[in-house]
Structure formats: C-alpha cells, structure tokens
Amino acid sequence: MKLGIIIETNEPEKAWNAVRFGNTALKQRHEVKIFLMSAGVEIESIVHEKYNAKKQIDEFIQNNGIVFACGTCIKSRNQERSDVCPISTMTDCLEMVEWAEKVVTF
C-alpha cells in the first residue's frame, strides 16, 4: 500500500508516534512518504528523553522513506533546508496525496 503521512506538530509524543507509524509501515513493505508542515518542520529538534522523534525520522530516512518539508514553514522559522527537511512545496504535498492510497495526519 502507498501511505502518505502529514505531520503538523512539534509535540514530542505525537511526532514520535507519527514517524514510528511510518517506520512500522516501511518494515511491512509499504511505500511511505512523509510531508512535514507547520510545526512539523521542527522535527529535527524534537529530541525528548522518552519520545525522540529525531531518532525516528533518521531511521525512516535510513529505511528509504521519503520526506518532504514545506519550504514556507521552514523559512518562517528561520530554518535552513536539510536532508531531513528538504525544501518542498504545496504542489509536492498535493502530489503525495494523489499518489497515496491512504493519507493520515498527525
């Protein structure tokens, strides 16, 4: 199955669970893409003692998951693009939604 995951939060437990869900799907041989928007583009800084979203997103990328990140959201937070947060657009988000058989939002 093709799964699209939209992450809009920087809350440690929610972001951690969102990416953990993506990692579980990859391990079950699903195709998974994540689109980070709003506070979700802060995922690299979500290093919580119990809910380490940064560790999960690094694992997701290692397992060949695809990540997009809203360029406008990145710029509005004075962040730079990175391997985890490549500059993407709403067109990329739309294309992910069109590609996916299911989309979940956290």
CATH number at residue 75: 3.40.1260.10
Please tell me the predicted confidence (pLDDT) of residue 79.
87
CA distances to 40, 47, 49, 64, 102 from 9, in Å: 5, 14, 17, 22, 20
Asked whether the beta carbons of 97 and 68 are under 8 A apart, the reply is no
Q: How many domains does one find in the chain?
A: 1
Compute φ and ψ for 9, nearest 5 degrees.
-120, 155
Could you list the residue range(s) of the whole structural domain that residue 93 is in? 2-105
Asked whether the beta carbons of 4 and 93 are under 8 A apart, the reply is no
Q: What is the pLDDT along the chain (106 residues), one digit of tens a residue?
A: 999 999 999 999 999 999 999 999 999 999 999 999 999 999 999 989 999 999 999 999 999 999 999 999 999 999 888 878 789 999 999 999 999 999 999 9
Q: What SS3 class is residue 10?
A: coil
DSSP state of 101: S
CA distance 28 to 41: 26
Beta strand extents in the chain (DSSP E only): 2-7, 31-36, 66-70, 87-88, 102-105
Structural tokens at position 38:
């709003």
